[in-house]
Amino acid sequence: MHSKAFLAALLAPATVSAQLNDLAVAAGLKYFGTALGEGTINSDSQYAAILNDKREFGQLVPENGQKWDSTEPSRGQFNYNQGDITANQAKRNGQGLRCHTMVWYSQLPNWVSSGSWTKATLTSVMETHINNVMGHYKGQCYAWDVVNEAISDDGQWRNSVFLRTFSTDYLPLSFNLAKKADPNTKLYYNDYNLEYNQAKTDRAVELVKIVQAAGAPIDGVGFQGHLIVGSTPSRANLATTLKRFTALGVEVAYTELDIRHASLPASSSAQVTQGNDFANVVGSCVDVAGCVGVTVWGFTDKHSWVPGTFPGEGDALIYDSNYRKKAAWTSISSVLAAAATGAPPQSSSSSSTFVTVTARPTSTTTTTNTPPPATSTSSGGGGGAEQTRWGQCGGNGWAGPTRCQSPWTCQKQNDWYSQCL
């Protein structure tokens, strides 16, 4: 248990000196994590130094190393060299491990995607793959993304070799096979664009119900969170969407978060908006009982999948290409720090893999055991810029906008964090 005094020490005024995983755990989450780029970890020492610090990232997930084309490129021939990079790194650092991914239409070797299968033969292929890969990592993974991106953007079932062979019966089949392979890991459905609470989200709710109705186990839904600056839903709307799934008895998490600028270079106001967007996403997880953590899909703009996939877009992460913390990092840290002052700590029965607050920033400032009550603050300062709803508008060391867009007002939460409410 973390005492109030401990939290006071952790969150003492220069909050941005605390690191994201420590803040996330203090705020009641299990972890704040990142994807690991297998081609980068051994070639960029600055990247490695930040990624290996479990105070910043308490959980890792392999970017590509556990996908089917990497682990079983030819039928019956398994290779774990790439997947083991992340697993071994997490083990050395005392970080948690999310595992990604089993049954997915993409990055699927041609022998699977173009094969001529019956239900019996494809079941055998799936069982062999899942048993071998999950068996290799058995006992190491907090969660596995068992089925990935089974829904098209229009809300229809995505065409794949699995859907063509089984119809939607492949969904409970996949989860049953995964449970048999590793009974103690969390089993997730994982997808993007669920955040907008539209037809695709409705179908994902149906997916969970299909799996449950078949008597198959499903423990969580991963919201990938590949979003666009200025088009990210509000904190309240995101929380509403998360709750649609926790109401079904599953946990939720943001599993691949990045928020890209649609055009570059990004203006200073766009960078502020990006920070607000990240704060809204992370804040929504804090706001929902059953949201266990946040994983960014890489942490530095220097190594990101976005520009190669969306030409002309990018700068989607929380460190810039020179490894400087961006406004997005500060916004996340502020939201987590604000939540930590009132959050019950993770109990000792929670996963010990993730409940690891490892450092206490030093401070010469006296703090109280409880945060001061919220009060309105002045709306002056910050030049001509105005902050959006939920955004930070003041606090010790804050150099951003201090005026809020109408009708919101800047309200002091404590000495180091004020918010537009």
Looking at residue 392, its pLDDT comes to 65
CA distances from 4 to 10, 22, 299 (A): 10, 15, 30
CA distances from 2 to 8, 52, 95, 349 (A): 10, 24, 19, 14
Structure token pair of residue 312:
């002309």
Whether residue 11 is predicted with pLDDT greater than 90 in this model: the reply is no
Which residues are part of the catalytic machinery? 149, 256
Answer yes or no: pTM beyond 0.75: yes
Whether residue 235 is predicted with pLDDT greater than 60 in this model: the reply is yes
C-alpha 133: how far from chain center: 23
Looking at residue 346, its pLDDT comes to 42
Q: What is the pLDDT of residues 178-204, one digit of tens each?
A: 999 999 999 999 999 999 999 999 999
Q: What is the pLDDT of residues 302-332, one digit of tens each?
A: 999 999 999 999 999 999 999 999 999 999 9
Of 332, 292, 308, 202, nearest in space to 260 by CA: 308
Looking at residue 372, its pLDDT comes to 30
Of 212, 132, 140, nearest in space to 178 by CA: 132
**DSSP code for 409:** -
Looking at residue 350, its pLDDT comes to 34
H-assigned helices in 195-288: 199-213, 235-246, 268-287
What are the phi and psi torsion angles at 414 (to 5°)?
Answer: -165, -175
Give the separation between CA 185 and CA 183, rounded to whole angstroms.
6
CA distances from 22 to 6, 234, 258, 358, 359 (A): 12, 25, 20, 7, 7
Looking at residue 358, its pLDDT comes to 38
Looking at residue 71, its pLDDT comes to 98
Looking at residue 391, its pLDDT comes to 63
- Print burial letters for 258-288: b (CB count within 10 Å at least 16), e (below 16): bbbbeeeebeeebbbbbbbbbbbbbbbbbbb
Helix/strand/coil percentages in the chain, nearest 5: 35, 20, 45
Whether residue 103 is predicted with pLDDT greater than 50 in this model: the reply is yes
Give the separation between CA 90 and CA 31, rounded to whole angstroms.
13
Give the separation between CA 415 and CA 421, rounded to whole angstroms.
16
Mean pLDDT, range 19-29, rounded to an integer: 96
Of 332, 223, 243, nearest in space to 290 by CA: 243
Looking at residue 18, its pLDDT comes to 83
Q: What is the pLDDT of residues 128-160, one digit of tens each?
A: 999 999 999 999 999 999 999 999 999 999 999
Give the separation between CA 262 and CA 413, rounded to whole angstroms.
33
Looking at residue 237, its pLDDT comes to 98
- Kindly report the average pLDDT of the chain as a whole number: 86
| Other residues' Cβ atoms within 10 Å of the Cβ of residue 30 | 25
SS3 320: coil
Q: What is the pLDDT of residues 46-65, one digit of tens each?
A: 999 999 999 999 999 999 99
Are 397 and 364 within 8 A, CB to CB?
A: no
Mention every residue, 6+ apart, whose C-beta is less than 8 A from residue 399: none
Give the separation between CA 66 and CA 77, rounded to whole angstroms.
14
Give the separation between CA 142 and CA 349, rounded to whole angstroms.
14
